[in-house]
Amino acid sequence: MRFLVLLAFFLTGCNIYSYFDRPSGNDQILSKARACLDESDYACASFYYERLFNTNFSDIARLESVFLILSQMGFEISSLVGDIINNSDSIGSLITSITDNVIPNSGASARVKIFNNYKSIAFIHDIRLQGFGRFINSVLFIAEIFAESSIDSVHFYKTDLVQDPVLCASSITASGCSAPAGSKMEAGSSISLSIDPSALLAEVPSLNMIVFGMFQLSSAVSQIEGYGNLNSQIQAFESQVTSNLAFIQSNESQFRRVLIQWNIGG
């Protein structure tokens, strides 16, 4: 699938950004920005990327600026990409794997920073590059919400979502799918890209945040024009999420059941 081809480029060579190299009068500025990023000198990298925002390197600079922010937060892009490739056969195992890696750096402030990345991504003109950035950011946003919902703050389990995962997965009536004791995730209110980010900071992790992330992830797949098993799963997952949207408020257990059926959680 196309986006996995893109991801694979990020794992080859010493410079994970080598796929985006393009000869130009601004190539030295871009090289300097990347060198600063490789050295974790984020202020330096940001300075040089911003110099490219109104040039023919604009799309690349904005995309890599998103990755810069994620790196500042402790999320290594190469590791994230590796997780996506290694779990490309299952959306559930992909989200669970990334969630466990995100837990140490998770929190409301991290959630808001990831959310704010969508604004930068929207300025990327190339649709596939924009989709690539949206895909990475959305996987991380979903994982971030689940990470904040981990009861023991070490791993994310199915028992962080429901009382009895085995019964829940097999039940037609969503028996065993109620929120567990000590659950950190609520139904919450619906969110969109237009909301004030400070509103996100004040809320606890919610099912509606997961819905938002899934919509963004599905949109990313469409932009990339991806195909293959993982892409199909994402579209099917998003479709099932959409069809069960009303249950978030009226029958939360039914919506939690959807997450369990997609094998979210360890």
pLDDT, tens digit, 9 for 90 and up, residues 58-76: 888 888 888 888 888 888 7
User: Does residue 2 or residue 170 have the better pLDDT?
Assistant: 170
Calpha distance 259→264 (Å, rounded): 6
CA dihedral over 23, 42, 199, 77, signed as positive or negative? positive
| The pLDDT of residue 25 | 59
Q: Taking residues 144-172, what's their average pLDDT? A: 94
Residue listed under structure tokens 């930068």: 120
229 part of a folded domain:
yes
Q: Residue 52 corresponds to which tokens in the numbers above?
A: 């490219």
User: Does residue 77 or residue 211 have the better pLDDT?
Assistant: 211
Radius of gyration over alpha carbons of the chain, in Å?
Answer: 19
The number of folded domains in the chain is 1
Calpha distance 87→176 (Å, rounded): 28
Rounded to a whole number, what is the distance in angstroms from the first to the last CA of the chain?
A: 26
Per-residue confidence band for 17, with pLDDT thresholds at 50, 70 and 90: very low
CA distances (Å), origin 102, targets 92, 97, 223, 242, 260: 15, 9, 25, 26, 20
**pLDDT for residue 252 is more than 70:** yes
**pLDDT for residue 46 is more than 80:** yes
| The pLDDT of residue 209 | 95
CA dihedral over 211, 214, 219, 220, signed as positive or negative? positive
**pLDDT for residue 260 is more than 90:** yes
Closest by alpha carbon to 132, among 233, 221, 46? 221
With b meaning 16 or more CB within 10 Å and e meaning fewer, what string describes 93-130?
Answer: bbbbbbbbbbbeebeeebbbbbbebbebbeebeeebbb
61-65, 73-77, 103-107, 237-241, range with greatest mean pLDDT: 103-107
Helix, strand, or coil here: 186? strand
pTM: 0.84
2-6, 17-21, 23-27, 217-221, range with greatest mean pLDDT: 217-221
Q: Taking residues 93-100, what's their average pLDDT? A: 93
Alpha helices in the chain (DSSP H): 2-9, 27-38, 42-50, 58-72, 77-86, 91-102, 108-121, 127-148, 165-170, 197-202, 207-224, 229-243, 247-250, 252-261
Calpha distance 101→104 (Å, rounded): 7
105 part of a folded domain:
yes
The per-residue pLDDT of the chain, averaged, comes to: 84
CA dihedral over 25, 76, 258, 117, signed as positive or negative? negative
List the single range of 63-67, 85-89, 106-110 with lowest mean pLDDT.
Answer: 85-89
| The pLDDT of residue 24 | 47
User: Does residue 150 or residue 79 have the better pLDDT?
Assistant: 150
Domain range for 116 is 2-261
45 part of a folded domain:
yes
| The pLDDT of residue 8 | 46
For residue 82, give every residue at least 6 positions away whose Cβ sits within 8 Å of its Cβ, in sequence order, or none. Answer: 11
266 part of a folded domain:
no
53 part of a folded domain:
yes
74 part of a folded domain:
yes
Calpha distance 257→264 (Å, rounded): 10
| The pLDDT of residue 174 | 75
210 part of a folded domain:
yes
| The pLDDT of residue 208 | 94
| The pLDDT of residue 86 | 83
131 part of a folded domain:
yes
| The pLDDT of residue 150 | 96
| The pLDDT of residue 21 | 42
